Amino acid sequence: MSSIDYSEKIPNNVNLSDDRRLQRALEKWQPAFLNWWGDMGPEASSDHEVYLRTAVDVSPKGWAQFDMVRMPEYRWGIFLADREVDRKINFGIHKGEDVWQEVPGEYRSELRRLIVTQGDTEPASVEQQRLLGLSCPSLYDLRSLFQINVEEGRHLWAMVYLLHAYFGRDGREEAEEMLVRHSGDEDKPRILEAFNVPTEDWLSFFMFTFFQDRDGKFQLSSLAESGFDPLSRTCRFMLTEEAHHMFVGETGVGRVVERSAQLSKQHDTLDIAPYGGIPLPMIQKWMNFHFSICLDLFGQETSTNAANFYSMGLKGRYLETKIDDDHALGNDMFHVPELRGDNVVMAEAPALTAINERLRNDYREDCQRGVDRWNKIIAKAGADYTLTLPHNAFHRNIGTFQGMHFTPQGKPISKEEFDANRANWMPSEADREFVKSLMVRVTERGKMANWVAPPSRGVHGQDVDYEYVKLH
């Protein structure tokens, strides 16, 4: 087990000081990162002391240390999971060969592209969430936001390390570009669409951390299977942090749902807006929006990019080694959806090209489990409402259903019908204004905004009313 050296300017467990050139290059990138954090990171937060966890070692247990930290002083660094002895490539045409410790020359551009796409999402999310601290529902939630933000910053470090260490000059240029593209920027936007959507209210933040961070879980899990061992190792460690982000999302939406269900029961109506709650049908609209934009993050249903990444051994499937097949997929078929007449039907496609679709299915199942738990919360509170994930064809902008229009149940409709119903299915301007009007900052110790239930317990054994953020 490798512990992390915190005496270095850049904390790391990769013996950075043994490679002076790399160390110098990263030390040059470090101030640019800190400037970016100052400009684009959480607004007006630099003097707050935040109860943050910091990685101490990379073992699954006991890696975290909790302390009051000012965020600009957070020790961002480079942490890779330990190397597995004799690790082999588990899929594709190199199956059975030793994993690569260096970039295979023939796959350099594909690998760089994957790392850049992954890396780009991390600072994007920080940019998307930068104003949320100004409207937090409690100190507990403010801490969660900041914890996630610093860890996304660290995930950027993880990808920048790979670019610097393994891709020479163009890797360094890509690392600089990570701080030049910005979420929603007209000229230099982030790469993937869902990372250019602002996260303007806390319901959106909880939806983001449930749905969008879960894309992170599935993409990182697929990259953790990579034959390029440094990528696999860094993704394995990132996944331990990602789990907490999804916890914030699931419990966050769960707490909103709980409060809304309580108010619905108490006042015997779903229209709880007059009582300062978010109506359950409005939560459904937020879900429809976030789930559908996240489905796009998996790419097209059939993709030669994905087939190539797989055959090359660069990006596997979710839990690759647990799947019972030949891990080469030369002859296998997989079901992908398409519109035939008035129905979405399942057609056969080569499994190799349907890798994205398979991952999207895995993702949907995982999301459904969370939605089921939210529905139990509603039922337990005695309210009458069921949240449902929309059909995969609903509101899609990538792949087979791009440019088509469907109801949330998956019935094809005209653009006119979609437009006429848009505000019933997805947040309207008025809905967004209403939710924003509830987002009044609560920073008194132990207090919670009215639209969200308190968490069932605090962080790391602390009480819920612990002063998780000291505001300065």
Binding footprint of ligand BYC on the chain (CB under 6 A): 114, 117-118, 121-122, 125, 152, 192-193, 212-213, 215-216, 219, 296-300, 303, 305-306, 315, 356, 398
Report the alpha-carbon distance of residue 155 to residue 150 in Å, rounded: 9
| Shortest Å distance, C-beta 193 to ligand BYC | 4
Report the alpha-carbon distance of residue 469 to residue 136 in Å, rounded: 11
Report the alpha-carbon distance of residue 242 to residue 204 in Å, rounded: 18
| Shortest Å distance, C-beta 273 to ligand BYC | 30
Helix (H) or strand (E) segment spanning residue 416 = helix 415-425
| Closer residue to ligand BYC in complex, CB, 23/121 | 121
What number of other Cβ atoms are within 10 A of residue 366's Cβ?
Answer: 14
| Shortest Å distance, C-beta 305 to ligand BYC | 4
Q: Within 13 Å, how many C-alpha atoms sit on residue 1's CB side?
A: 9
| Closer residue to ligand BYC in complex, CB, 123/277 | 123
| Closer residue to ligand BYC in complex, CB, 16/150 | 150
| Closer residue to ligand BYC in complex, CB, 258/320 | 320
| Closer residue to ligand BYC in complex, CB, 216/277 | 216
| Shortest Å distance, C-beta 355 to ligand BYC | 8
| Shortest Å distance, C-beta 399 to ligand BYC | 7
Beta strands in 238-384 (DSSP E): 333-340, 343-350
| Closer residue to ligand BYC in complex, CB, 234/300 | 300
> What is the token pair recorded at 160?
């920048």
Rg for the chain, CA atoms, rounded = 22
Q: Which of 313, 289, 303, 438 is nearest to 360 (CA)?
A: 303
| Shortest Å distance, C-beta 115 to ligand BYC | 8
Report the alpha-carbon distance of residue 361 to residue 317 in Å, rounded: 11
Q: Given the structure tokens 């612990």, which residue do they identify?
A: 466
| Closer residue to ligand BYC in complex, CB, 143/259 | 143
| Shortest Å distance, C-beta 298 to ligand BYC | 6
Phi/psi of residue 43, each to 5°? Answer: -65, 140
| Closer residue to ligand BYC in complex, CB, 258/296 | 296
Q: Which of 366, 214, 221, 203 is nearest to 297 (CA)?
A: 214
Report the alpha-carbon distance of residue 291 to residue 86 in Å, rounded: 39
| Closer residue to ligand BYC in complex, CB, 250/296 | 296
| Shortest Å distance, C-beta 214 to ligand BYC | 8
The SS3 call for residue 185 is: coil
Report the alpha-carbon distance of residue 377 to residue 373 in Å, rounded: 6
Which amino acid would we find at residue 213? D
Cα 382 vs. chain centroid, distance in angstroms? 32
Q: Within 13 Å, how many C-alpha atoms sit on residue 385's CB side?
A: 25
| Shortest Å distance, C-beta 361 to ligand BYC | 14
Q: Which of 180, 185, 157, 183 is nearest to 80 (CA)?
A: 157
| Shortest Å distance, C-beta 269 to ligand BYC | 35
Q: Given the structure tokens 């806390």, which residue do they identify?
A: 202
| Closer residue to ligand BYC in complex, CB, 210/406 | 210
Residue nearest to ligand BYC (CB): 299
